[in-house]
């Protein structure tokens, strides 16, 4: 077996950059450990709740953020942290070359029902400032805490998947992920249909029409409600994920965050041969104007994303 450490040593990237991946892997392994026993230790609830012993509970989002913060603080290569949990970017003690942007615990509404959640992260050159487009990413990844803990990483050209073993070591399980061009699975929160724009309506209506419509094939809809889980399924077997701009999210620019949700996921999907779009441009080309900026996100199998782009071209 190839461990994450072996794999990183074989990559033609700067050793400091590889160490940032190691740091995020170590933080993810620790978060996985905490999540596994959260129902037993009583750390399942929302902030402000008390556990069965009557002790105040910290939300797992906050615990996960603290874990990432402490691991990052130990790596001299990282000087800046942007986190969904923190209003401002944090200047670390270290003067390192790298910036990490992260959603430490994505999909946390699924925690209480023991459904997959994850940690998403993006790595940038800290000297280039906080507001860089996704094309500037030096690496990205996520951990999916499901039946197994998966870690999926890219430095750009390829995306590789690792699985956490019983000893706490990540083992390489897929060397080069490949998102099939064609797929018959789509993921969107259909409860928002009344809010959708014409392009989203048109695309989904064609899928619902199945073999009787212009798509000429039957589709299935899957929506976990954890972006990590939905994107992981797409990286493993194809499909498309949509969180488009709708009449409710348009005032904020979208639902998902650009720096630590849209960008890292778009880089991973593109590294595996898929595509991404906001409806107007590649997610990776959006130039951010604030660190917690939101963005419409459509990504996955190239043919499906192209169909959505065609709908946006038409409407």
Binding site for ligand FBP (CB under 6 A): 106-107, 189, 225-227, 257
Of 91 and 190, nearer to ligand FBP (C-beta) is 190
Of 74 and 248, nearer to ligand FBP (C-beta) is 248
Contact (Cβ atoms closer than 8 angstroms) between residue 227 and residue 120: yes
Residue 27 CB, nearest approach to ligand FBP (Å):
17
Residue 33 CB, nearest approach to ligand FBP (Å):
21
295 vs 257: CA distance, rounded Å:
6
Residue 15 CB, nearest approach to ligand FBP (Å):
32
225 vs 112: CA distance, rounded Å:
13
Q: Nearest to ligand FBP by Cβ — which residue?
A: 227
Residue 281 CB, nearest approach to ligand FBP (Å):
21
Of 107 and 288, nearer to ligand FBP (C-beta) is 107
Residue 198 CB, nearest approach to ligand FBP (Å):
20
Of 4 and 258, nearer to ligand FBP (C-beta) is 258
Of 88 and 248, nearer to ligand FBP (C-beta) is 248
Do the bridges between strand 98-106 and strand 78-83 make them parallel or antiparallel, or are there none, so unpaired? parallel
Residue 107 CB, nearest approach to ligand FBP (Å):
4
Of 94 and 189, nearer to ligand FBP (C-beta) is 189
Of 58 and 158, nearer to ligand FBP (C-beta) is 58
- Backbone phi and psi for residue 152, each to the nearest 5 degrees, phi listed first: -120, 125
Residue 54 CB, nearest approach to ligand FBP (Å):
29
């Amino acid at each position: 077996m190839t461990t994450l450490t072996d794999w990183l040593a074989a990559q033609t990237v700067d050793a400091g950059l590889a160490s940032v991946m190691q740091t995020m892997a170590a933080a993810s392994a620790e978060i996985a450990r905490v999540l596994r026993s959260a129902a037993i230790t009583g750390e399942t609830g929302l902030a402000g709740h008390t556990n069965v012993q009557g002790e105040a509970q910290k939300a797992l989002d906050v615990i996960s953020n603290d874990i990432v913060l402490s691991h990052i603080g130990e790596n001299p290569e990282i000087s800046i942290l942007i986190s969904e949990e923190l209003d401002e970017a944090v200047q670390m003690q270290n003067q390192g070359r790298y910036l990490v942007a992260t959603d430490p615990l994505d999909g946390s509404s699924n925690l209480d029902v023991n459904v997959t959640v994850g940690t998403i992260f993006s790595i940038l050159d800290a000297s280039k400032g906080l507001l860089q487009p996704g094309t500037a990413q030096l690496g990205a990844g996520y951990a999916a805490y499901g039946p197994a803990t998966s870690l999926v990483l890219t430095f750009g050209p390829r995306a590789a998947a690792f699985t956490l073993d019983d000893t706490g070591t990540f083992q390489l399980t897929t060397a080069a992920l490949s998102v099939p061009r064609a797929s018959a699975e789509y993921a969107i929160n259909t409860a928002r249909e009344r809010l959708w724009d014409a392009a989203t309506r048109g695309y989904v209506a064609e899928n619902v029409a199945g073999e009787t419509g212009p798509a000429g094939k039957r589709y299935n809809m899957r929506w976990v409600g954890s972006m990590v889980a939905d994107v992981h399924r797409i990286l493993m077997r194809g499909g498309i994920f949509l969180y488009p701009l709708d009449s409710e999210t348009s005032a904020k620019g979208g639902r998902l965050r650009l720096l630590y949700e849209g960008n890292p996921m778009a880089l991973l999907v593109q590294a595996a041969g898929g595509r991404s779009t906001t409806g107007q441009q590649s997610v990776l080309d959006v130039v951010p104007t604030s660190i917690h900026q939101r963005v419409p996100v459509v990504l996955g199998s190239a043919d499906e994303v192209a169909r959505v782009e065609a709908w946006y071209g038409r409407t």
